[in-house]
Amino acid sequence: MTAPRIEGAIALVTGANRGIGRALTEGLLTRGASKVYAAARNPATLATRRDARIVPLRLDVTDPDQLRAAAAAAPDVTLVFSNAGVTLNAHLAGEAVFEQARREMEVNYFGALRVLQELAPLLAKNGGGALVTIGSLAGLTNIPFFPTYSASKAALHSLTQAARVLLAAQGTSVFGVYPGPVDTDMVRDLALPKASVRDVAQAIFDGLEAGQEDIFPDAFAQDFGRQFQSSPKASERQVAAMVAAMASGSAA
């Protein structure tokens, strides 16, 4: 696997208007990227600093036409961060869960698949480059607070593994990122230590430049990743115990 360099890269970030996507966009500028395509469903929500290297793009990753337009607007891209994601559901009861789960899968899995399909040929034309999928520890071991979100991220993890093999022939390196709790809207109400989005973005860049296929960009993720790589079943039990402890604390 070829380790990409951030300095001089021409990057595209989906979901660039908030959270990890915004931190990635700003961090790319700081670390010397020559151009950053910042993609969001509503470009007016992009809040990056003024910089001539930023190119705003309108992109809903579930819209094939918008993806084709984004690909046409970014023909020189060498580094893609497939980051756009959504979480809607924290339970399994009721009819609403099915529509919420479909939406999560549509954005978190099918959206990432569309990004791969449209942008991988550009990476090939530009020398191979790199594709980075922003997954979650929840995609390795289901987090019952977010059961269907976790399932969508598990699908993304599987897709990342396939892409790593299939895109190797065109010289594209594929990286999976598996954060733990990060200080974003999604986990605001969870009583867990949370990493800052800025620190997570910098750890992602460090992992890319070190050639790490699987990047665990915060302390919680690193500890959990070691446990998962040693014993997936033990990780499942660890999560179950954590959920039980938090539920007990809430009831007290």
Question: Catalytic: 149?
Answer: yes
- Active-site residue, selected from the candidate residues 37, 109, 149, 178: 149
Q: Which tokens is 60 given?
A: 């809903």
Residues with Cβ within 8 Å of residue 227, at least 6 apart in sequence: 234, 235, 238
Instruction: Give CA separation, 200 vs 94, 100, 128, 136, 196, in Å.
Output: 35, 27, 25, 12, 6
Which candidate, 14, 23, 141, 28, places its Cα nearest to that of 86? Answer: 14
- For residue 184, what is the DSSP state? S
Q: In the 8-state DSSP scheme, what is residue 238?
A: H
The residues annotated as belonging to the active site are 149
